[in-house]
Amino acid sequence: MKWKTALLAAAGMLAGANVFLGNRQLIVDRDTMYCSKLPDAFEGKKIMLMADLHRKKFGKDYCNLLDTVRAASPDMIIMAGDLYSRGETKIGEKVRLLTALNDIAPTYYTAGNHEPDDPELLDAMLCKAKSLGVHALKNELAVVCSGGERLNIYGLQLPLKYFINKDGSYHDLPVPDENTIARYLGTPDSNCCNLLIAHNPLFFPAYEKWGADMVFSGHVHGGMIRLPFIGGLLSPERKFFPKYSKGLYRRSNAVMAVTAGLGRKRINNPSQVMLLTLTAKKLPAKPRKGHAWELR
């Protein structure tokens, strides 16, 4: 029996070490996003996608995170929500982080489901970030021009009722459709390439039907715990095996990138940013191992 106890203790220590080290890792996953409507001027441009920082620091003044971003040399940066957690009130450092990111590359930020918990604080933060040159989008459109061509970048901020009930429960949450998205963002120009920053990837069908060509999301934290050959275990809505948790997904003519995010506790699921190269050149019919595709 002693050897069994020792074995269990060793396994427990190994698992604990894995969690401890895994929660201090930061990885950069590189991939390619295909869109047939991508203008020639944006071919090969790189977008760094990050989300769900919450309370995590990554060194003094986020120095390790910023060094990682600089080393990747992105052309644009997208922060797809949950820059801070509900209950945080001293967010000046988060504004400074956004401006530091914007010094590296033009940065586009849209809130998730934590920031709107205090609407006045969020509006003040958005106003300050905008005054410092950050593209802080609250149901707004930013147009990016290059070589006489354009990309549309929309930032969607859905009401909290789509994330959590007033009593703090998650049962019977409403699901937005394409008309819901249009009420907040208007109707996109189908002749342009339309990028959508939308915190919650679970609404991908609505985003695609609305007219998004590329979607950038987070929210699910990679499923918190990632299981070999299965993927993410749990969504923030307390649902097991969320359909979209990490990686690239395709539905009809739209492609969505979902980052596992930066903050919160996690197991076998290190903090992650994604470096995504845009292309209009046709990719292989089948995705590489580890990617999920949804075809209609």
Q: Over the stretch 192-222, which tens digit does the pLDDT of each residue have? A: 999 999 999 999 999 999 999 999 999 999 9
Give the per-residue SS3 of the chain.
Answer: CHHHHHHHHHHHHHHHHHHHHHCCCEEEEEEEEECCCCCHHHCCCEEEEECCCCCCCCCHHHHHHHHHHHHHCCCEEEECCCCCCCCCCCCHHHHHHHHHHHHHCCEEECCCCCHHHCHHHHHHHHHHHHHCCCEECCCEEEEEEECCEEEEEEEECCCHHHCCCCCCCCCCCCCCCHHHHHHHHCCCCCCCEEEEEECCHHHHHHHHHHCCCEEEECCCHHHCEEECCCEECECCCCCECCCCCCEEEEECCEEEEECCCCCCCCECCCEEEEEEEEECCCCCCCCCCCCCCECC
Report the range of poorest mean pLDDT among 18-32, 126-140, 192-206, 220-234. Answer: 18-32
Given a cut of 50, is residue 4 above it in pLDDT?
Answer: no
Mean pLDDT of 249-269: 93
What pTM did the predictor assign? 0.89
Residue type at position 176: P
Integer Cα distance of 101 and 209 in angstroms: 32
Q: How confident is the model at residue 183 (pLDDT cuts 50, 70, 90)?
A: very high
**CA 183 – CA 175 distance, rounded (Å):** 14
Average pLDDT over every residue of 255-282: 94
pLDDT band at residue 286 using 50, 70 and 90 as cut-offs:
low
* pLDDT of 67 above 90: yes
Structural domains of the chain in order of their starting residue, each with its CATH number: 24-279 (3.60.21.10)
Query: Tens digit of pLDDT for each residue in 218-255?
Result: 999 999 899 998 889 888 888 899 999 999 999 998 99
State the pLDDT at residue 9.
44
pLDDT of residue 13: 46
* pLDDT tens-place string over residues 33-66: 999 999 999 999 999 999 999 999 999 999 999 9
Please report the pLDDT score of residue 90 as a whole number. Answer: 84
Q: If you average pLDDT over every residue of the chain, what do you get?
A: 89
* Portion of the chain with pLDDT greater than 70, in percent: 87
d(CA 112, CA 217): 9
* Token pair listed for 84: 């801070």
